[in-house]
Amino acid sequence: KQEVTQIPAALSVPEGENLVLNCSFTDSAIYNLQWFRQDPGKGLTSLLLIQSSQREQTSGRLNASLDKSSGRSTLYIAASQPGDSATYLCAVRGVTGANSKLTFGKGITLSVRP
Amino acid sequence: SAVISQKPSRDICQRGTSLTIQCQVDSQVTMMFWYRQQPGQSLTLIATANQGSEATYESGFVIDKFPISRPNLTFSTLTVSNMSPEDSSIYLCSASGKFNYGYTFGSGTRLTVV
Nearest CA to B110 among A40, A27, A86, A112?
Answer: A40
> Nearest CB to B103: which of A34, A42, A107?
A34
The set of long-range contacts for B46-49, using a CB threshold of 8 Å and a minimum separation of 24, is B46/B78, B46/B91, B48/A101, B49/B76, B49/B78
Tell whether A66 lies on the interface with B, counting CB pairs under 8 A.
no
> Phi and psi (nearest 5°) for B88?
-65, 115
Q: Which helix (H) or strand (E) holds A11?
A: strand A10-14
pLDDT score, position B62: 96
Stretch A1-22: mean pLDDT, rounded?
A: 95
- Percentage of chain B with pLDDT > 70? 97
pLDDT band at B99 (very low <50, low <70, confident <90, very high): low
Stretch A3-16: mean pLDDT, rounded?
A: 95
The nearest CA of chain A is from the CA of B96 a distance in Å of: 10
pLDDT band at B41 (very low <50, low <70, confident <90, very high): confident
A105, B42: Cβ pair inside 8 Å?
A: yes
Stretch A61-67: mean pLDDT, rounded?
A: 97
